[in-house]
Structure 1
Amino acid sequence: MKSEELGQWMSAAVNAAIAGGAEILDVYGKDFDVEIKSDNSPLTIADRRAHLKIMELLEVTGLQVLSEEGREMKFEERKDWAHFWMVDPLDGTKEFVKRNGEFTVNIALIHNGQSIAGVIYVPVKKWLYVAMPEMGSYKVENVEPSQRMKISEVREKGSKLPQEKSGPFVVVGSRSHMSPETEEFIDKIKQEHGEVEIASMGSSLKICLVAEGAADVYPRFAPTMEWDTAAGHAIAKCAGKNIQDHTTGAEMKYNKENLLNNWFIVQ
């Protein structure tokens, strides 16, 4: 894969994420029905519309797509994919339903089990996070859902991550309900760093807080799926951070037979 080809792929992914966000916002401003999936997570027409738009715009890349809202794909069908897109068309449907703006469109490029590049678009806040090897990670603000953007424009208009941080040690977590394991993890950090501040955010924005330097660590001791983390993983990794599998101690892997993630720590 040449860098020029990667740039073309990522330009397509950027525009697919933004266009997916436009579909979501069109639903966001209206009344909508909420279905409950078999895993008790919510599903709306916005998820489906974003999925279809992203699939349409990624087609130009010629790569396979594994999407949360796409058809189920058996491991035998996908295990030999060298490059493919992993997509969550609407990460944070609960946040969408609550209308708090903290939901995202996630697109990651997976290569041989590793997340190597990613795009996260935050439609309500108009933030765009983009990462790829050699370029690094960038955050672009004021990205309208009607905009189209090339990778070169991301570098021109964006801020390179991570940014400078000062103040207390910041842990990403819930202020209202933490698991005993998370409380224990934070207690250890308090012993080491003293004052600790808790930052709370929805969807893949939790990973982005660490990637951009606004937070120091994000422990996730609860279930997630690969499409929840893949794009954020690339953005954190290209910003010099790491997502460590809490079970194996190694970097998180993708396109496993079981798409459920182990617990992990971003830092």
Structure 2
Amino acid sequence: MHTNLPPIESLLELVRNAGDAIMEVYHQDEWDTQLKADQSPVTAADLAAERILAQGLSVLTPDIPILSEEAQIPDWSERQGWARYWLIDPLDGTREFLQRNGEFTVNLALIDQQTPILGIVYAPAKSAFYWGGTQLGAWCLENGLPSPIQTRAIEHTVHLLTSRRHGRKEAEAVAQVLKDFDVNTSAMGSSLKLCLIASGMADLYPRMTPTSEWDTAAAQAILVEAGGVLLNANTLEPLRYNTKDSLENPAFIALGDTSLNLEKRLNSESFNH
């Protein structure tokens, strides 16, 4: 692990505790749901996980600031001086949570110089645990034991992942651009999509509609260590974080196999026809 950071086991335990708090709410018969200013839903599960993560990180790493979806966002004038910070989404996929389909995650990322260097993604309803980062490799928890993961080579078939609510346009564009491949498409919520690419279960996830930085950072750290990329669809450069006042991501492409240069065929212009 990096110097001045707690053992990965302590961070995994913290994220698991946040996931356990989410599942306590998930198993209740009904929930109190509120709408935030942007009309996105927030539940008691979001807030419980936020409290656990914020309190735990403030003890484990008191000198590292925290940026969380469910807490007050510091002004850009303060954030722009951060060299290193935690970026968290206590419950990524609140709509999936509300639909009880299990496709929601806890996302914890450490950003250093605008780049995710450590990421943990936990899907408690699926008992799926992924983590990875610089000097750490990429891992999942399988049958109670850590197993290394890596992206897979694309041969004849591309397994495309899309968002449950925003994927039709992307799927149609990929089918047009990659006519020389068989394209199989699945829809899924949250950052699980990126983790499936990292673990060699899928190949490609383009996203042209808005997402936030806390949606992608943790899984990006894992995906990169597993051999994949998460690229700005306009520049084909890796996504970077805390570079501006807005915390909205650009359109992006997540790809497991970089040897075929498919990203050059799948830039943002491919999705605007």
Whether TM-score is above 0.5 comes out as: yes
Indicate yes or no: 2:157 matched with 1:168.
yes
Matches within 5 A, 1:118-157: 118-141=119-142, 157=145
Q: Which residue of 2 aligns with 1:254?
A: 241
8 Å contact from structure 1 (residues 173, 200) kept in 2:
yes
TM-score for both structures, normalised by structure 1: 0.87
> 1:185 offset after TM fit, Å?
2.6
Give the number of equivalent residue pairs. 250
Give the match's secondary structure for 1:158.
Answer: strand
Give the match's secondary structure for 1:80.
Answer: coil
8 Å contact from structure 1 (residues 33, 45) kept in 2:
yes
Indicate yes or no: 2:74 matched with 1:61.
no
Matches within 5 A, 1:185-224: 185-189=174-178, 191-193=179-181, 195-224=182-211
TM-score for both structures, normalised by structure 2: 0.86
- Runs of at least 4 residues of structure 1 off by over 2 A? 2-6, 9-13, 163-168, 174-182
Which residue identity does 1:266 align to in structure 2?
A: A
Indicate yes or no: 2:73 matched with 1:72.
yes
8 Å contact from structure 1 (residues 118, 230) kept in 2:
yes
> 1:232 offset after TM fit, Å?
0.7
> 1:56 offset after TM fit, Å?
1.2
* Whole-angstrom distance in 2 between the partners of 1:142 and 1:51: 27
> 1:142 offset after TM fit, Å?
5.1
Indicate yes or no: 2:31 matched with 1:32.
yes
Which residue identity does 1:219 align to in structure 2?
A: P
* Whole-angstrom distance in 2 between the partners of 1:158 and 1:217: 24
Q: Which residue of 1 aligns with 2:226?
A: 239
Instruction: Evaluate the alpha carbon distance shift between residue 252 and residue 176 of structure 1 in structure 2; reply closer, same or farther with a 3 A threshold.
Output: closer
Deviations, residues 213-259 of structure 1 (Å, cap 9, x unaligned): 11111101111000000101101011111100012221101012210
Which residue identity does 1:86 align to in structure 2?
A: L
Instruction: Evaluate the alpha carbon distance shift between residue 260 and residue 177 of structure 1 in structure 2; reply closer, same or farther with a 3 A threshold.
Output: closer
Q: Which residue of 2 aligns with 1:184?
A: 173
Give the match's secondary structure for 2:87.
Answer: strand
Instruction: Evaluate the alpha carbon distance shift between residue 158 and residue 24 of structure 1 in structure 2; reply closer, same or farther with a 3 A threshold.
Output: same
CA RMSD of aligned residues (A): 2.0
Which residue identity does 1:27 align to in structure 2?
A: V
Any gaps of 5 or more consecutive residues in structure 1? Answer: 144-156
Aligned mate of 2:213, from 205, 226, 234:
226
* Whole-angstrom distance in 1 between the partners of 2:12 and 2:21: 15
Give the match's secondary structure for 2:180.
Answer: helix
Q: What percent of counterpart residues are identical?
A: 38
* Whole-angstrom distance in 2 between the partners of 1:176 and 1:73: 29
Which one is further off, 248-257 or 9-18? 9-18
Q: Which residue of 1 aligns with 2:106?
A: 105
> 1:177 offset after TM fit, Å?
6.0
> 1:28 offset after TM fit, Å?
0.5
* Whole-angstrom distance in 1 between the partners of 2:165 and 2:67: 33
8 Å contact from structure 1 (residues 127, 139) kept in 2:
yes
8 Å contact from structure 1 (residues 12, 61) kept in 2:
no
Larger RCO of the pair (alpha carbons < 8 Å, separation 6+): 1
Give the match's secondary structure for 1:192.
Answer: coil
8 Å contact from structure 1 (residues 207, 232) kept in 2:
yes
> 1:122 offset after TM fit, Å?
0.8
8 Å contact from structure 1 (residues 175, 198) kept in 2:
no
Any gaps of 5 or more consecutive residues in structure 2? Answer: 256-273
